[in-house]
Amino acid sequence: MGQVVLKGINKFYESVHAVKDVNLQIRDKEFVVFVGPSGCGKTTTLRMIAGLEAISSGDISIDGNVINALAPMDRDIAMVFQNYALYPHMSVYDNMAFGLKMRKFERREIEKRVREAADILGIGELLKRKPRQLSGGQRQRVALGRAIVRHPRVFLFDEPLSNLDAKLRVQMRVELKKLHLRLGTTAIYVTHDQVEAMTLGDRVVVMKDGVVQQVGEPLELYNQPANKFVAGFIGSPAMNFATVTVTEADGSLIAENSGLRIKLPDEIAQRLRGHVGREVILGVRPEDLTVASSADLDHPCFDAVIEVVEQLGSEILLDMKVGESNMVASVEPTARVRVADKLRVAMRRSRLHVFDAQTEAAI
Amino acid sequence: MAISAVSATTLREAPPPRRQRLLEDERWLAFVLLVPTIVLLGMFIAYPFIRGILLSVTSSRVGMPGDFVGLANFYKIFNDGIFRTSVYNTFVYTGVTTVFKLALGLWLAMLLNRNFRGKAFTRAFILLPFIIPTVLSTFAWKWMFDPTFSVLNWLLYHFGLITGRINWLGDPDLAMISIIVVNIWRGVPFFAISLLAGLQTISPELNEAAAIDGAKPWQRFWHITWPLLLPVTMVVVLFSVIQTFADFQIVYVMTGGGPANATHLFATYAYQIAIGTGLLSEGAAIALAMFPVLFLVVIIQLLYIRRVEVR
C-alpha cells in the first residue's frame, strides 16, 4: 500500500511562504508528478514528504498514519536525488545494499534483492564498480536500484533525469514508466519539464509560487487548463495569448484588439455574456491555428505576417506578427510559406480558451 | 606586389638570434624556468640540511671549526639521559596533542558546518589562536599557569576545588600537561578550519540519502562522512604531526625545557646544547635525530593518502 495524503501543508522559511496550503490525495500505485518553474515549492513539498524538511503546518499521512514527526528512515519511503547522491567510496553493490544493511537485513536476503534490482535495471555487470567509473545513465540506474531494493511504500523522485543529456533523458523516461508499471509502487515525481510531467504522470500537479494551480490527468490539463498559467506552462510550443476587448454587434460577440477582430463562436459567447465591454485574455494553442482555406469559413480568422519560419520536419512553426503582438502557429509540413508572407489564419473554434484579464482564471 | 612577397620570404628565412633559438628548445626553456626554484631550494633547504649533516660529524663548537669525529656525537647523545627524555617527551607531546586536536577539531568542524546565525563571523573567530603569533599567546598562557598570578588557580580556589596553589610549571608532569594544553589550544583551529573545508566538499545529499536509507546520525558519520573526509584528515594530521614533532616556541617560552630538563623536546634540547652551551655539532646531531622519524611519518602517510585517492 502507499496512499499519501497532504492536508493543508504550509512551509515558511523565516519570512518566505514557500508552500501554501497544499491539499492532495495520492492513491495507491499512482504516479503523481509535481511540475512548475523553479522556486514554485514542488521540491520543498517533496522534501517535506521525505522528512528532509520540517512541515510548518498541516499533516502528511501515509496509509492513514500521520508521519509529520517521523524521521525519514521511519517513513518507509525511498528517494532518488537529482545528483544521484551515490556514496562515492562504495561499490555499486554496496550503494544498493546500504539501506538494507542499515536495516539489519540478512546477508542472503540483501544479495537476493540487490541481484533482483540489478537485473531489472540491467546493471548486473556493474556491481563491483565505483560510481565514478559509471556514465550518467548508469549512475541514474544505480540510484534507482538503491530505491527499488528497499521495497518502500512510496518512491520520491527529485528531478532525477535533469542531469542526463536529451537523448538519454527520453530513454530513461520510458524506462521509468515501464518500471512503474512493473513494480506498481506509488511514485511522487518532481520536475520542471512539462513533457516529463505529461508523459509520466497518471496525474499532474501544477504549482506556482507555492500554490497548487491545478491537479488533473495530463490531457485534462492540456484541454481544460484552469488558468492562464497552466495553459501557458503545459504544451510546447506554448499557448498564444491575446488581450482582447469583448463587444456586442448584431447580437453576436466580437473580440478585438489592435490587430485582431474575430466573431466569437456561440459556445464561447455564451460564457462571455457578462464580460461585454471588458477585457479578457484569448488563448489558442499553436497546433489549433491553420492557414485558412475555404473550408474554414465558420472558424474565426485573422490576418498575420510571417516573421520567422522554423522547419522541424514533422511540422512548421510560424512566428507571426498579428497587429502589435506575436503568435506562433504549428502548421502542416506541406504548407508553402515564406518570410514576409501575408496570411489568413484560422483558429479552430472548439479549441479557443478564454481567461479573465484580472484573475487569469479560465472562463 | 612581387617585390614585397620576395622580401617577406627572405625575412622569414633569416635565422633568429642565437639566444632566442636556444629558448625555442623546450629542454633549455624548462631548465631556464626552473633555475629560480632550484636556487631557492638549494640555498635555503638543501645547503642548510647538508651543512647540518656535516656539522654533526665534527667536534665544532662556537668559534672552533673542530675535526671530523665520525658518529661520536650520535653515540654521545644516545647515552644522554636528557636526550632520551626529550625523545620520549616529543612522542608523548605529538601523540597526545594530535589525538586531541583531531577529535576537538573534527567536533568543531561538524558544529561549524551547520547553518546558524553569525556563521561567517564565528568561523573567522575560531581561527584566532592560529593567527596570533605563537610566542605572544604562549606568554599569555605562561601567566595563566604562573604559580602566583595563575587565573586557573584563582578559579579553582574560588570554586573550592583546591586549597593551596598549584605550581603548574614547577612540577614535571603538570608542566608537560600544561604545554600539551597550550599546543592543543593553538592547533585546534587549523584542524577545525581544514576539516570544515573538507566537510563542505561532501554533498549534503549524501547524508540525506543515508538518512532515508535508515542510517542513524552516528552511522551516517561513520559510513559516509568519515570515509569521505579521510583524505583531508590524513593531510591535516600529516602537517600537524610534522609541526608538533619539531615544535619549539611553546616549550621554549613556557618552561624553557624545565623544570630540571623534564619538558625538553628535540628542538628545544638541540637549541640548548648548540646555542646555549655552544656545542654546535652535538646540537646538530640532536636535531638530525628527528629526521628519520619524520621521514618515516611522511612516507607512510603519503602512501596512505595515495591509496585512499586511488580507490
Superfamily of domain A240-356: Nucleic acid-binding proteins (2.40.50.140)
Q: What is the mean pLDDT of residues A73-81?
A: 92
On whether the CB atoms of residues B108 and B126 are closer than 8 A, the answer is: yes
Of the candidates A264, A234, A232, A248, the residue with the CA atom closest to the CA atom of residue A352: A264
Give the minimum alpha-carbon distance from A129 to chain B in angstroms, rounded to a whole number. Answer: 10
| Mean of pLDDT over chain B | 86
- Report how far residue A78's alpha carbon sits from residue A185's, in angstroms, rounded to the nearest whole number: 11
Could you report the per-residue pLDDT of B131-168, keeping only the tens digit for each? 889 889 998 898 888 877 778 888 888 887 777 777 88
In chain A, CATH 2.40.50.140 covers: 240-356
Q: How confident is the model at residue B99 (pLDDT cuts 50, 70, 90)?
A: very high
Q: What is the mean pLDDT of residues A73-89?
A: 91
In chain A, CATH 3.40.50.300 covers: 4-233
Amino acid at B57: V
Q: What is the mean pLDDT of residues A289-294?
A: 83
DSSP state of A349: G
CA neighbours within 13 Å on the CB side: how many for A151? Answer: 10
Residue B193 has pLDDT above 50, yes or no: yes
Question: What is the reported pLDDT for B309?
Answer: 62
Which of residues 169 through 188 in chain B touch A, CB cutoff 8 A? none
Query: Across the interface, do A99 and B208 touch by the CB < 8 Å criterion?
Result: no
Question: What is the reported pLDDT for B95?
Answer: 94
Other Cβ atoms less than 10 A from the Cβ of A263: the count is: 17
Query: Across the interface, do A73 and B214 touch by the CB < 8 Å criterion?
Result: yes
DSSP string, B110-147: HHHTS--TTHHHHHHHHTHHHHS-HHHHHHHHHHHT-T
Alpha helical stretches, state H, chain A: 42-50, 92-102, 107-121, 136-148, 166-183, 194-200, 218-223, 228-233, 266-271
Question: What is the reported pLDDT for B91?
Answer: 93
> Which among A52, A78, A102 is the nearest to B208, CB-wise?
A52
Comparing A25-39, A68-82, B22-36, which segment has the lowest mean pLDDT? B22-36
Q: How confident is the model at residue B16 (pLDDT cuts 50, 70, 90)?
A: low
Residue B173 CA: distances (Å) to CA of A42, A323, B86, B131: 62, 93, 14, 29
Residue B13 has pLDDT above 70, yes or no: no
Task: Give the domain ranges of chain B.
Answer: 16-56, 80-310
Query: Across the interface, do B214 and A130 touch by the CB < 8 Å criterion?
Result: no
Question: What is the reported pLDDT for B2?
Answer: 46
- Report how far residue A250's alpha carbon sits from residue A9's, in angstroms, rounded to the nearest whole number: 51
Regarding the domain delimited by A4-233, which CATH topology (the fold level of the hierarchy) does it fall under?
Rossmann fold (3.40.50)
Q: How confident is the model at residue B311 (pLDDT cuts 50, 70, 90)?
A: low
Q: What is the mean pLDDT of residues B51-70?
A: 84
Residue B122 CA: distances (Å) to CA of A328, B14, B111, B125: 56, 66, 11, 5
B223 touches chain A (CB under 8 A): yes
Strand ranges across the sheet with A211-216: A77-80, A154-158, A186-191, A31-35, A203-208, A211-216
A235 touches chain B (CB under 8 A): no
What burial class does residue B165 get, using C-beta atoms within 10 Å of its C-beta: 0-12 exposed, 13-18 middle, 19+ buried? Answer: middle
Question: What is the reported pLDDT for A86?
Answer: 93
Could you report the per-residue pLDDT of A224-267, keeping only the tens digit for each? 999 999 999 998 889 999 888 898 888 788 888 887 888 888 88
Could you report the per-residue pLDDT of B204-241, keeping only the tens digit for each? 999 999 999 999 999 999 999 999 999 899 889 988 99
Residues from chain B that touch A52, judged by Cβ atoms under 8 A, are 208, 211-212
Query: Across the interface, do B209 and A83 touch by the CB < 8 Å criterion?
Result: no
Give the minimum alpha-carbon distance from B269 to chain A in angstroms, rounded to a whole number. Answer: 45
Give the minimum alpha-carbon distance from A147 to chain B in angstroms, rounded to a whole number. Answer: 9
Amino acid at B49: F
CATH of B80-310, one of 1.10.3720.10, 3.30.360.10, 3.90.1150.200, 1.10.10.10: 1.10.3720.10
**How many cross-chain Cβ pairs, A to B, lie less than 8 Å apart?**
60
- Report how far residue A360's alpha carbon sits from residue A226's, in angstroms, rounded to the nearest whole number: 9
> Which among A89, A98, A130 is the nearest to B213, CB-wise?
A98
A98 touches chain B (CB under 8 A): yes
B228 touches chain A (CB under 8 A): yes
Comparing A83-97, A321-335, B12-26, B57-71, which segment has the lowest mean pLDDT? B12-26
Give the minimum alpha-carbon distance from B205 to chain A in angstroms, rounded to a whole number. Answer: 6
A102 touches chain B (CB under 8 A): yes
- Report how far residue B90's alpha carbon sits from residue B96's, in angstroms, rounded to the nearest whole number: 10
- Report how far residue A351's alpha carbon sits from residue A354's, in angstroms, rounded to the nearest whole number: 10
Residues from chain B that touch A102, judged by Cβ atoms under 8 A, are 210, 213-215, 219
Other Cβ atoms less than 10 A from the Cβ of A210: the count is: 21
> Which among B203, B211, B227 is the nearest to A72, CB-wise?
B211
Q: Identify the closest residue of chain A to B214 by CA–CA distance.
A: A73
Q: What is the ipTM of this complex?
A: 0.83
Question: What is the reported pLDDT for B12?
Answer: 56
CA neighbours within 13 Å on the CB side: how many for B202? Answer: 29
Q: What percent of chain B has pLDDT over 70?
A: 93
